[in-house]
């Protein structure tokens, strides 16, 4: 009976011992797969550009009306903006490319120019601006002249862009990749090492803005007031636009 009891204890202990052995082996195996070899790396940033001719233009223009009667000021400003819109649309600009970008109404206290004291009179100023997209950039000067003749009293924020920049971005990106590789190789050579494979890559925009023009018109040009020639150039050149791409790459360094 005693021998049987001892045998049963041995049988029960054996599986426990086997489980512990497997656990230890498993831990050893797991710790082995977690080891990674440290690598020397170098980071470099490259820049690439591509130049294109703008095919899209944007201009901000509008009216500023001052009157003691707020209702009249608003009506006159609305009428002027409607007249400007109709004039540029008649020149081939799509109505979808004409958008109200600013509309404000506020009161102004009138001061005596001699004494500098308030007269007690109040005037109201109404400012309305339109954002107009011009798809034939070479007609920008002509359309500005049309808007002035239609009653526009201020022009600002003329800028030129490129509608589809995909091809230029690809060219700039390729130039940036070549530049970053060249920079990284020079760094590796300076350290007496060899450039290995890239480990990580990041891209960012490094574009330069296109030309921007701004023209302010003094005085109040009435509707049909012949604003052409009031400081606006006969020819507005779109120039060229630069698209830039920045690429940062981390390379492995080899002995």
pLDDT per residue rounded down to tens, the chain (255 residues): 544 444 334 434 333 232 323 233 333 333 333 444 678 999 999 999 999 999 999 999 999 999 999 999 999 999 999 999 999 999 999 999 999 999 999 998 888 888 888 888 999 999 999 999 999 999 999 999 999 999 999 998 889 999 999 999 999 999 999 999 999 999 999 999 999 999 999 998 765 444 433 333 333 333 333 444 444 545 788 889 999 999 999 999 999
Read off the pTM.
Answer: 0.64
111 and 223 part of one domain: yes
Residue 237 DSSP symbol: -
Instruction: Single out the residue of 246, 249, 166, 174 nearest to residue 203, CA to CA.
Output: 246
The answer to whether residue 28 sits within a structural domain is: no
The pLDDT value recorded for residue 221 is: 32
The residue with tokens 């049909």 is 224
Q: How far apart are CA 3 and CA 6, in angstroms?
A: 5
141 and 181 part of one domain: no
The answer to whether residue 101 sits within a structural domain is: yes
Give me the DSSP letters along 73-136: HHHHHHHHHHHHHHHHHHTT--GGGEEEEEEEEEEEEEE-TTT--EEEEEEEEEEEEEEEEESS
* Total number of domains in the chain: 2
User: Regarding beta strands 241-254 and 194-205, do their DSSP bridges make them parallel or antiparallel, or are they unpaired?
Assistant: antiparallel
The answer to whether residue 200 sits within a structural domain is: yes
109 and 216 part of one domain: yes
The answer to whether residue 118 sits within a structural domain is: yes
The answer to whether residue 33 sits within a structural domain is: no
Q: How far apart are CA 187 and CA 254, in angstroms?
A: 12
Could you tell me the CATH number of the domain that includes residue 90? 3.30.70.2970
The pLDDT value recorded for residue 37 is: 61
183 and 221 part of one domain: no
The residue with tokens 């604003």 is 227
Helix (H, G, I), strand (E, B) or coil at 202: strand
Structural domain of residue 172, as residue ranges? 41-50+167-205+247-254
The count of other CB atoms within 10 Å of the CB of residue 204 is 12
Instruction: Single out the residue of 157, 142, 161, 159 nearest to residue 232, CA to CA.
Output: 142
127 and 146 part of one domain: yes
Q: How far apart are CA 216 and CA 211, in angstroms?
A: 17
């Amino acid at each position: 009976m005693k021998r049987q009891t001892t045998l049963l204890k041995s049988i029960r202990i054996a599986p426990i011992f086997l489980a512990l052995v497997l656990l230890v082996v498993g831990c050893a195996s797991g710790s082995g797969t977690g080891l990674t070899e440290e690598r020397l790396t170098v980071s470099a940033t490259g820049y690439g550009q591509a130049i294109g001719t703008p095919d899209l233009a944007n201009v901000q223009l509008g009216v500023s009306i001052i009157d003691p009667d707020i209702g009249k000021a608003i009506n006159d400003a609305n009428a002027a903006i409607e007249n400007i819109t109709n004039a540029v649309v008649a020149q081939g600009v799509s109505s979808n490319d004409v958008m109200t970008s600013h509309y404000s109404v506020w009161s102004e206290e009138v001061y005596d120019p001699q004494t500098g004291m308030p007269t007690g009179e109040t005037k109201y100023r109404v400012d309305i601006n339109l954002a107009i997209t011009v798809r034939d950039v070479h007609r920008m000067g002509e359309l500005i002249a049309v808007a002035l003749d239609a009653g526009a009293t201020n022009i600002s924020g003329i800028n030129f862009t490129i509608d589809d920049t995909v091809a230029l971005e690809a060219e700039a990106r390729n130039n940036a990749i070549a530049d970053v590789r060249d920079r990284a190789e020079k760094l590796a050579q300076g350290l007496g090492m060899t450039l290995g494979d890239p480990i990580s890559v990041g891209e960012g925009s490094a574009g330069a803005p296109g030309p921007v023009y701004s023209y302010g018109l003094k005085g109040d040009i009435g509707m049909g007031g012949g604003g052409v020639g009031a400081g606006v150039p006969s020819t507005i050149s779109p120039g060229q636009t630069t698209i830039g791409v920045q690429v940062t790459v981390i390379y492995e360094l080899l002995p």
